[in-house]
Amino acid sequence: MINGRTKTCGLIGNPVEHTMSPTIHNRLSEMLHTNLVYVPFHVEKNLLQEAVEGAFALNLWGLNVTVPYKSEVLTYLKEVDPLAARIGAVNTLVKTEGGYKGYNTDMPGLFRALESDGIQIPGEHIIVLGAGGAARAVTVLLAEKGAEEIILCNRTIEKAGKIADEVNGYMGRNVVRVLPLSGYEELKGRKYLAIQATSVGLHPNDQDAIILDKDFYNLLHTGYDLIFNPSSTRFMKLTEEAGGRAINGLKMLLYQGIISYELWNGIQVSQESAMEIYKLLKEEMG
Ligand code: NAP
């Protein structure tokens, strides 16, 4: 029941029409008997500042932020959590006195997702494919969680180089190195965890994969695709064909939402509730 005390949260982005976040938050509210409703808000390109200030004026309790505003929104916040500042992107706003505080729950979300699938980061040798917003955040997370080596491969090598310089600089060790997408020949001799953080293979381009050569997939023990639509990407299929374990990005989506919900409500969501929502998301994906 919506009544005078209902808290409103939502998602700002452009587009927002295909989001699954309302399922996460509204079902959590139902399950946990929280008087909170979550709605998507399509924000036009030149109206982000007005959207954030208007949300604050309307007493919106919290917001998620999606593409293309995760970095731009930093300008309009009262405070930014240190992890989000290091990543340079915010996907969750929490109302505080005088403005919103920005957090990044995408990366803690990915970390919880990896943990729940039994994937260890400390000491691991990891290939990250991509050098966009998601790959940058993934690289920060992996470096901070103790990866032994991160090999960053991207079509535009300069973008990968910039991330490597930045992360190596503040980590004080050369944990990230850069390779072109065709450079994996030199990686023979061990098995890697690969995290696919490019947009190649996203629906409707289901037949595309960032690398098609089978030799690459022979290097992997696990191929983790941040994409969740389609639920089995070509990258995942190629990983499995080469004998590796393949996982999609749906649990990352789940846990980033759950961590946002925890921040807004000052609670800890149980693993049972998280798995119930995960089941709903899988059903929604068909
Ligand atoms: P982005 O900033 O636009 O970066 C896109 C990346 O893909 C860049 O590295 C780009 O390479 C590469 N790329 C795009 N088209 C390419 C092509 N034809 N050939 C080679 N490389 C290509 O995007 P993002 O925000 O980082 O998102 C990346 C992926 O992560 C998306 O698929 C998104 O759905 C997914 N994601 C999932 C979650 C989740 O909750 N599961 C959360 C965030 C993101 P260049 O640098 O050379 O252009």
- In short, whether 228's Cβ falls inside 6 Å of ligand 1 is yes
Residue of the nearest CA to atom 12 in ligand 1?
198
E-strand ranges in 33-145 read 36-42, 62-65, 79-80, 92-96, 99-103, 125-129
Is ligand 1 within 6 A of the CB of residue 256? yes
The finding on whether 252 has its CB within 6 A of some atom of ligand 1 is: yes
pLDDT in tens, 138-188: 999 999 999 999 999 999 999 999 999 999 999 999 999 999 999 999 999
* Residue 14, number of CB atoms within 10 A of its CB: 16
Query: Ligand 1 centroid to 235 CA: how many Å?
Result: 14
200 CA from centroid of ligand 1 (Å)? 7
- Residue 23 is predicted with a pLDDT of 98
Position 265 scores a pLDDT of 98
Whether residue 73 has its Cβ less than 6 Å from ligand 1: no
- Which pLDDT value is given to residue 20? 97
Of the candidates 70, 95, 101, 251, the residue annotated as catalytic is: 70
Name the band, by pLDDT with cuts 50, 70 and 90, for residue 1.
confident
The pTM of the whole model exceeds 0.75: yes
Measured at the alpha carbon of residue 81, what is the angle toward residues 92 and 68, in degrees to the nearest 5?
40
- Nearest alpha carbon, ligand 1 atom 43: 134
Residue 51 C-alpha from the chain's centroid = 23
Residue nearest to atom 20 of ligand 1 (CA): 155
Q: Give the separation between CA 133 and CA 24, rounded to whole angstroms.
A: 23
* Arithmetic mean of pLDDT, 37-42: 98
Cα torsion for 76, 92, 138, 209, to the nearest 10°? -100
Q: At 59, give phi and psi (nearest 5°).
A: 65, 30
Measured CA to CA, the distance from residue 120 to residue 98 in angstroms comes to 40
Question: Is residue 247 predicted with pLDDT exceeding 90?
Answer: yes
Tens-digit pLDDT profile for residues 196-225: 999 999 999 999 999 999 999 999 999 999
Q: Is the CB of 225 under 6 A from ligand 1?
A: no
237 is catalytic: no
Residue the block writes with tokens 């992890």 = 83
Dihedral of CA 135/137/141/144: which sign?
positive
What is the chain's mean pLDDT, rounded?
97
Residue 128, amino acid: V
On the question of pLDDT at 37 being above 90, the answer is yes
Task: Calculate how far, in angstroms, residue 5's C-alpha sits from the geometric centre of ligand 1.
Answer: 40
Instruction: Write the residue with the smallest CA distance to atom 32 of ligand 1.
Output: 199
| Residue 201 beta carbon below 6 angstroms from any ligand 1 atom | no
